[in-house]
Structure 1
Amino acid sequence: MEKFEQAKKEIERLSRELVKHQDLYYKEAQPLISDLEYDRLVDQLIALEERYPELKAADSPSQRVGSDLNSEFPEVPHTVMMLSLDKTYTPEGILEWIEKSNKRVGHPLTYIVEEKIDGVSLVLYYEEGLLARAVTRGNGVVGNDITPNAKTIGTIPLRLSQPLNIAVRGEVFLPLEQFESLNRNLETPFANPRNLAAGTLRRLKSSETAKIPLRMFAYELFFTNPEEGPQSHLESLRLLKELGFYVNESYGLFAAQEEEAHLLVQDTLESGSYEAIVDYVEIHVGRRESLSYEIDGLVVKVNELAEREVMGYTGHHPRWAIAYKFEAPEAETVVEGIDVQVGRTGRITPVARVKPVRVGNSVVYNVTLQNQDYINLLELALQDRVSISKRGDVIPAVERVLEKNEAGYKTWQMPQECPSCSTPLVERGAHTFCPNTQCPDQVKGRIVFFAGRNQMDIEGFGPETINFLFDKGFIQDIPDLYAFDYMELIGEEGFGEKKCSALTKAIEESKKRPFRSVLVALGIADFGKKGIDLLVDNGIKTIHTLFELIDSGNRDYFLAIKGLGEKSVDNLFDHLLNREFRGRII
């Protein structure tokens, strides 16, 4: 009886948790857990419900596929099945599923493997070749009619090349380049392109949706009368392209015998035996980072449409398809503290100190938290248990809070004063800044940047050495690097005659660096190496020539240089007319 009560409580807890995450994913486009974590919660619930079927509720989240229903848009019933997909996380799992599928129908089938676009599902309904409705997935039975918004997407044909009555399922996405460009200018950036695409599709004004360059890959075709349509998925994909849809052509066909697969595609796409799917998966995992759009896995589908009907559906997914999901490097840890760093430009960045944890191939100790908006979105507090990932397999990031702290800590807030110089902090856009340009941490940051490998490349002048020189009062800004006699350091801990001579030599060598290296090293805001190269290419090859043009106030000279924008020119003038900034230049 005790186990039964424990199971009942656990089923209720899992159900509440899943409903919450379904709403966050589908309605608010702000998921707090990964697909893998969500799938694990579903698996736990299903396992308990199978063990205690009498505890399974009629509206159990295990029977749902989530919902993006929005009361602002009219609800429309679907005429095609809009279910989720069964999942596996290993290539071997795909082969096991293929073996089971073949046994289900009694003979070997052929399979199409496609990229799983990380976007937003949409169903398009065409009547006599004209787009009649565009409906979100919703709860799988009913979705929201967002036709005006869908019509703004350039890859969705408003009229087909043939007057057909069909339904087309596709995935709306935002290319990575456009996402990064748009996200850079948002006060509260989106976590990923999928979330931005989802939010855009639900904008109340289609004119606002039209401003975002969304795309849609079409991947499933349904005829009102199936007998009039293609007999295989391969034929469906080819017909979709012929009708004017944007079709992702990165797919392969696999059969029991390699020769059979090759015969079907005639070398027009990748093909092979079932076993070749393992290599195909590995290739696509490696290819993932070079794509112009995000994918979160691959989808394997039965090619023969008649056999799909024989295989049928469960209440959750079709039996004729399975998703192979990529597993991003993630780990759980605890936030032990949050420190504030002051950058060379004065920007304040909160950094979480976490209990050391291995993510991918490295151990993570600190995680950047971007800004206060990001922290507020996570509702992050000290001692919270969090999930961290390696974005792009490189940069550690807190993805979500898994468990709130028991100590009563509330969402962390940025301090009111600079931790380095106690100057009151100011807000500029989405970020917080220290306005004091003589702030010790800012000055040290500027010197470290100046001496860095990609700037003046002064050997031996890393952060540790520069912090020592500054904290001891030997240098106070960039010009002091060249005025100080490093032989005076002999006797200081860690500084012998040999090291001091090496520092002196490195400084003398740096005086030979070209003009462009000096300007890059000074770190003029929004005026990087590309802008400086444009100056040099247009005849400005010495600091004295540059000063003369700046002092003359001739902005038109700079604006006439192709590739230099007004903002860049303004920043150049603002910096080089500033007495304090000019004082840093030798």
Structure 2
Amino acid sequence: MSLSDAKRRVSELKAQIFRHNHLYYVLDEPEITDAEYDLLMRELIELEQAYPELVTADSPTQRVGGEVASGFAKVEHEIPMLSLSNAYNPQELREFDRRVRELAGEPVQYVCELKIDGLAVSLRYENGLLVRGATRGDGEVGEDITANIRTIRTVPLQLPEPLNLEVRGEAYMPKRAFLRLNAEREAVGEPLFANPRNAAAGSLRQLNPKIAAQRGLSVFVYALADTDGTRLTRHSECLEWMASLGFPVNANRKVCDTIDEAIAFVEEWAEKRRDLPYATDGMVIKVDSLAAQERLGFTAKSPRWAIAYKYAAEQAETKLLDIVLSVGRTGAVTPTAVFEPVQLAGTTVSRASLHNEDYIRQKDIRVGDTIIVQKAGDIIPEVVRSLHEQRTGEEKPFSMPEVCPQCGEPLVRLPDEAAWRCVNSSCPALIRESLIHFVSRDAMNIEGLGEQWIAQLLDHGLVRNAADLYRLRKDDLLTLDRMGEKLASNLLSSIAASKENSLERLLFGLGIRHVGEKAAKTLARELKDMDALMRSSVEELMQLRDIGPKMAESIVAYFATPAAQQLVVDLRALGVNMTYLGGTWESGGAQTSAFAGRTFVLTGTLSTMDRKLASEWVEKLGGKVTGSVSKQTDVVVAGEKAGSKLTKAEQLRDSGQKPELEIWDEAMFLDALKSAGVAY
């Protein structure tokens, strides 16, 4: 290929990838499968490697993160990033409205926008290209986090027009990404993030952009700081214009004619916000007219034309009954608070992680204390504080034991870690948790082999490690309590089926410290087989996308142990696949007319499986799953209590906009799976 041909193809690929990124990450309406997207990216990467002179700063290949920074440069904001004053009740909003109308000298409209719980950032574009991302800092001076901002897929690297402008927004971590990150950190004994806001801030301040790239961050843009001479007169117009340029702008907003209408909108979202896939902590109310904003001006700390209504965190008072210890699969010993059950954010909670010994000491939490609990970011229960003034003198201070509560071996605390850890490889808790992880859905996916069966297998001495699962016979299983012939046969079939998994599932299932699902897939895709991985050095692993020094060192250290080497030998001898199967899972494997090439939306509750598993089956059979109904949707699978997505699908079909759109109930979905050869 000539340089001119390569240049033309690179330009085409970049345009296609930018478009598909916007469809997937901003509009939630993807048109191609992940595998098809990966093919476009791979072609672009290969062309840029062959023609390095064609690599530009706005290329989507540059999102993966570059070199580790030595520190963050300071950025002086030409237009200060001021904080907002707060209101905590409707009366304070009415007082804000009174001041605004008096100073503005005219009636005003307000724009109400959800207040995203994240980190304020500024994005600067020159000639349509992203040139700088910065934190708010103290409002006058922030930090240059451009390398990390570039890894966020909802942030446009290039605008459709060669504009010079600056936008302000909120970088945040979606709830799902937050839960996944904390689960990965807990599994390897790392401190947990308290809430999505802290997780987002910590991710954006990573000196290694590769780490930020793994965290699944997103952004909502909410303000124009520099309009490049654009003649807009209202804030609501600015939001619409930014959305037209490809910026992610939150759709849950409203222009209100009166403060009472704004208050009604605030109250409407007090509960609705809990169902959103991201954390919110309030509503921002802004004067819509830009001319009125200019007349109102600023105080020393905040604009007079905007205010943040803060939703009160739902808290409850209860009694701490006990602090119990659990041992994870990496040996980390985690203390957990057990308290009298309370209702929080719609659910009953009675336990909350206390993270580590230092956390308990800093908060001076004692067994028997009256405590305040809440859900951090409306997601994870946490102990806010103890009510020391209510102590009777009978409360008991907590101290970490010197030995493992499961095996009695001494606990170890490394100098750079907060967690105490059991390092006994024969510890029953480590073995149990490792096996539970190995068979889990996201790992080897051995259906039916739950925690209770793992516990019995260990108690009966039938397994000691993952390889022993593949040595089980029906006679072994029939010795377990409540195990029948049919169930034993099903379990053995499920165990046998897991031998055919692609390498990434095995790698994740091995439980190598710091290696999550995404990293396991990267390792499998790039290195192709287990032998290549085991031969790789730290330096070679660090050349791979998503693999940082800590993870690379952990992988090499794991495979250097005789126990890990023997486990791989045993698993291979027992027929477990050791190679990457490429598109078998990602692009569909067995193609069927009911699924292949069709776009599905799943809504409501399925009684036979959760939506994640249903989505995996659709994708395995050649379909793709999106989160919203559009003209690109082919099939909507509607479970119990299907809501607005089902209504929209019926409207599209019945109005003639998409007459061929199919709506399946759960029975029809299961029949289609059965026809495709899936026994469920």
Q: 1:105 to 1:541 in 2, by over 3 A?
A: farther
Structure 2 residue aligned with 1:291: 276
User: CA–CA distance in 2 between the matches of 1:329 and 1:422?
Assistant: 39
The CA deviation at 1:352 is 4.4
| Contact 1:231–1:306 (CA under 8 A) maintained in structure 2 | yes
The CA deviation at 1:242 is 1.6
SS where residue 244 of structure 2 aligns?
A: helix
Structure 1 residue aligned with 2:158: 159
Q: 1:369 to 1:154 in 2, by over 3 A?
A: closer
| Contact 2:335–2:357 (CA under 8 A) maintained in structure 1 | no
Structure 1 residue aligned with 2:137: 138
Instruction: Choose the corresponding residue for 2:402, options 408, 416, 432.
Output: 416
The CA deviation at 1:192 is 1.3
The CA deviation at 1:568 is 9.6
User: CA–CA distance in 1 between the matches of 2:325 and 2:155?
Assistant: 46
Q: 1:401 to 1:230 in 2, by over 3 A?
A: farther
* Deviation sequence 1:541-584 (CA, Å, 0-9, x none): 7245368779xxxx65432379994479889xx9xxxxxxxxxx
User: CA–CA distance in 1 between the matches of 2:113 and 2:101?
Assistant: 19
Structure 2 residue aligned with 1:339: 323
Instruction: Output the TM-score relative to the length of structure 1.
Output: 0.56
The CA deviation at 1:424 is 3.5
Aligned 1:447-458 pairs, distance under 5 A: none
The CA deviation at 1:83 is 0.9
- Is residue 281 from structure 1 mapped to residue 278 from structure 2 by the alignment? no
The CA deviation at 1:236 is 0.3
Aligned 1:142-541 pairs, distance under 5 A: 142-186=141-185, 187-223=190-226, 228-256=230-258, 274-330=259-315, 339-340=323-324, 350-352=335-337, 368-372=352-356, 375=359, 378=362, 380-382=364-366, 387-391=372-376, 396-399=381-384, 412-417=398-403, 423-424=408-409, 521-522=452-453
The CA deviation at 1:275 is 2.3
* Deviation sequence 1:32-80 (CA, Å, 0-9, x none): xxxxxxxxxxxxxxxxxxxxxxxxxxxxxxxxxxxxxx99211121111
Structure 1 residue aligned with 2:486: 542
Amino acid at match of 2:498: F
SS where residue 103 of structure 2 aligns?
A: helix
User: CA–CA distance in 2 between the matches of 1:570 and 1:130?
Assistant: 43
The CA deviation at 1:121 is 0.5
User: CA–CA distance in 1 between the matches of 2:489 and 2:407?
Assistant: 39
* Deviation sequence 1:390-432 (CA, Å, 0-9, x none): 457697521357989999x99943212466x883365799676
The CA deviation at 1:364 is 11
* Deviation sequence 1:178-222 (CA, Å, 0-9, x none): 121122111211111211111111111223322222111111012
The CA deviation at 1:278 is 3.0
Structure 1 range deviating more: 159-168 or 187-196:
159-168
Alignment RMSD, CA only? 4.8
| Contact 1:218–1:246 (CA under 8 A) maintained in structure 2 | yes
Amino acid at match of 1:214: L
The CA deviation at 1:293 is 0.8
The CA deviation at 1:276 is 2.6
Aligned 1:46-125 pairs, distance under 5 A: 72-125=71-124
Amino acid at match of 2:285: V
* Deviation sequence 1:86-107 (CA, Å, 0-9, x none): 1111234323322321122111
User: CA–CA distance in 2 between the matches of 1:565 and 1:357?
Assistant: 37
The CA deviation at 1:229 is 3.4
| Contact 1:92–1:278 (CA under 8 A) maintained in structure 2 | no
User: CA–CA distance in 2 between the matches of 1:320 and 1:548?
Assistant: 67
User: CA–CA distance in 2 between the matches of 1:170 and 1:302?
Assistant: 18
SS where residue 214 of structure 2 aligns?
A: coil
The CA deviation at 1:164 is 2.2
User: CA–CA distance in 2 between the matches of 1:547 and 1:135?
Assistant: 53
The CA deviation at 1:158 is 2.2
Q: 1:543 to 1:183 in 2, by over 3 A?
A: same
Instruction: Output the TM-score relative to the length of structure 2.
Output: 0.49
The CA deviation at 1:153 is 1.6
Structure 2 residue aligned with 1:578: none
Q: 1:544 to 1:284 in 2, by over 3 A?
A: closer
Structure 1 residue aligned with 2:579: none
Amino acid at match of 1:176: K
Q: 1:340 to 1:190 in 2, by over 3 A?
A: same
Number of residue-to-residue matches in the alignment: 393
User: CA–CA distance in 2 between the matches of 1:373 and 1:148?
Assistant: 35
Q: 1:369 to 1:178 in 2, by over 3 A?
A: closer
The CA deviation at 1:283 is 2.0
Q: 1:560 to 1:198 in 2, by over 3 A?
A: same
Q: 1:85 to 1:359 in 2, by over 3 A?
A: farther
The CA deviation at 1:243 is 1.7
Structure 1 residue aligned with 2:498: 558
* Deviation sequence 1:439-462 (CA, Å, 0-9, x none): 9xxx9xxxxxxxxxxxxxxxxxxx
Amino acid at match of 1:399: V
Q: Highest Rg: 1 or 2?
A: 1
User: CA–CA distance in 1 between the matches of 2:238 and 2:506?
Assistant: 51
Q: 1:140 to 1:277 in 2, by over 3 A?
A: same
Structure 1 range deviating more: 337-346 or 317-326:
337-346
User: CA–CA distance in 1 between the matches of 2:75 and 2:365?
Assistant: 41
| Contact 2:407–2:427 (CA under 8 A) maintained in structure 1 | no
The CA deviation at 1:133 is 1.9
The CA deviation at 1:109 is 0.4
Q: 1:364 to 1:141 in 2, by over 3 A?
A: same
SS where residue 131 of structure 2 aligns?
A: strand
Q: 1:563 to 1:298 in 2, by over 3 A?
A: farther
* Deviation sequence 1:471-497 (CA, Å, 0-9, x none): xxxxxxxxxxxxxxxxxxxxxxxxxxx
| Contact 1:170–1:217 (CA under 8 A) maintained in structure 2 | yes
Task: Return 5+ residue gaps in structure 2 as ranges.
Answer: 1-68, 433-446, 459-464, 467-473, 475-483, 512-566, 568-680
Task: Return 5+ residue gaps in structure 1 as ranges.
Answer: 1-69, 257-273, 444-515, 528-534, 575-586
SS where residue 542 of structure 1 aligns?
A: helix
| Contact 2:86–2:308 (CA under 8 A) maintained in structure 1 | yes
Amino acid at match of 2:218: R
Amino acid at match of 1:350: P
Q: 1:518 to 1:220 in 2, by over 3 A?
A: closer
User: CA–CA distance in 1 between the matches of 2:131 and 2:346?
Assistant: 52
User: CA–CA distance in 2 between the matches of 1:213 and 1:520?
Assistant: 30
Q: 1:564 to 1:198 in 2, by over 3 A?
A: closer
Amino acid at match of 2:278: Y
Q: 1:160 to 1:317 in 2, by over 3 A?
A: same
Structure 1 residue aligned with 2:515: none
Amino acid at match of 2:356: Q
Q: 1:342 to 1:190 in 2, by over 3 A?
A: closer
